[in-house]
Structure 1
């Protein structure tokens, strides 16, 4: 089901990784290295994607290279929203891609790009059409963010929320379909590019929009989807049932799945943006998900290849808590 595995989301954006806890991104690099090795051991052919940069920053990418993180990935990714947040014009997209290609020989994917309809829906129509013209042929993968508007009651993942003013509220208007389920004018424009431009859609835990999203994407002719499987959510009751339902619903698409969000009890700080106290536990999660949804090896061979890395691949009938997590949590509680 999985076409590619992305390691984290926007790690150079403080809304998704805490730079006060990891100012040099050395801990993040360790997460990438361990996760990349774990994914490779489960499925050597599955492309590993470095979480999309936001902002697009060649200096940050060089820092990742210096830490050795680029040796553990096959693709680097960028995110851009020039009509809403970035301090560069829409027409600069080719230059932004070129900046990254100048410092790495790895493929560059655009795993999030979007335009909100906050000011006017006509702006989104123009932005989608022009973005497709600028990026098609320059990036092997392009994912438009997103299919659905973010419901107002859910809240956006930013640090300062309403204090950000219109920058915060733009998060809620990036979909091609309004919160009430009606399509925006840009939806027809997207349909013209659906064969070449995928969709990026986060699905919240037990997201009621999942089946509706699949129906819309099939109707539009979308071929590729990017979404996420949350490490933090894996500790919720019923997590594996939800993960299975989500991935089964997306089985007809080529899926780039993003692994991210630190469980509060496993972070240096109790927040999903925190580095894990033990990065190997994040690697374990990535290996478990790839084993479950994109394994390339029989389980006997998989167990032997995984043993040197220090994790045990999970069998399909087991839940997240069945693999040493009870013991780990008990040890953490005792240490506390």
Structure 2
């Protein structure tokens, strides 16, 4: 079932939101408020989470508070990768959470934390163990990124790709399972921390790994999962068929669903990082997905929506 809806993914990261088109984040703030309110109208029981920020920046969170965004959500989230991309050390995690908790004054989730095996698989084992020591019990949600390595034939969702050097290639080695589905050494360590530690797994459109991923998560004792439904993907042919299949497969988990990515034809610029031309359209997408997959208790719209070809 869906327990939480996350509004965007890493909005303060230029790989996911274009700062040139929204230098003060006012467009994002407006969109986030509209989306949170739309989600709440569809199902007040859904926890509304401001999209996990990366980098962890108390200044950005204070800005969201000034815009009034935090009055419309129930929690905020952070993403941290101190062994791969961040300019701080892993033992600083409690301090980083404290900074955001002070700025936000609402619960802080760790909705993505992980360690790449780009350099050595043993590093991931140690990093997972130390992350669990530092974060479990400190944050309401701690979700490890990710179950699978990213297939090398795909592209990582980042703006500069190979120009980023080794930073780019680290994206492909974040999984507990290799691309071919074989386990890495850290898998055994991860099992020691479930179900308290959750998991993040993004499923691409018509992702061939979906069924195997569900089987693995059940085997590992995972109960909390974070994934995404892409606004951009919703314009693909048969998008709702894929969304239905994905959400039905994940129905037995407590799912945080992340809504993000602007369709090219709906952005100020034709790119998934662009603010939308009409922010209400993103809010409408969020509402439609909640109405379809997490209707309020007693809402008979569930059946209607599942047989409808439009949202």
Structure 1 and Structure 2 fold alike (TM over 0.5): yes
8 Å Cα contact 2:10-2:16 kept in structure 1 = yes
Per-residue displacement from partner, 1:77-127 (whole Å, max 9, x unpaired)? 000000000000000001101111111221000000000001000000000
Structure 1 residues not aligned, in runs of 5+: 303-313, 324-336
Mapped to 2, the partners of 1:297 and 1:288 lie a distance apart of 16
Matches within 5 A, 1:91-130: 91-130=91-130
Cα offset, 1:158, TM superposition: 0.9
Partner in structure 2 of residue 328 of structure 1: none
Q: TM-score, normalised by structure 1?
A: 0.90
Mapped to 2, the partners of 1:69 and 1:284 lie a distance apart of 18
Mapped to 2, the partners of 1:25 and 1:51 lie a distance apart of 13
Mapped to 2, the partners of 1:257 and 1:84 lie a distance apart of 25
Mapped to 2, the partners of 1:297 and 1:258 lie a distance apart of 21
Q: CA RMSD in A?
A: 1.2
In the alignment of these two chains, the number of paired residues is: 309
Structure 2 residues not aligned, in runs of 5+: none
Please state whether the residue corresponding to 2:95 is helix, strand or coil.
helix
Mapped to 1, the partners of 2:39 and 2:63 lie a distance apart of 22
Matches within 5 A, 1:224-243: 224-243=224-243
Cα offset, 1:297, TM superposition: 5.5
1:166 matched to 2:156:
no
Please state whether the residue corresponding to 1:218 is helix, strand or coil.
helix
Mapped to 1, the partners of 2:297 and 2:268 lie a distance apart of 34
8 Å Cα contact 1:42-1:297 kept in structure 2 = no
Partner in structure 2 of residue 310 of structure 1: none
Larger Rg: 1
Partner in structure 2 of residue 284 of structure 1: 284
Cα offset, 1:299, TM superposition: 5.3
Partner in structure 2 of residue 316 of structure 1: 306
Deviating above 4 A after TM superposition, structure 1's stretches of 4 or more consecutive aligned residues are 297-300
Per-residue displacement from partner, 1:277-300 (whole Å, max 9, x unpaired)? 100000000000001111115558
Mapped to 1, the partners of 2:14 and 2:178 lie a distance apart of 28
8 Å Cα contact 2:70-2:104 kept in structure 1 = no
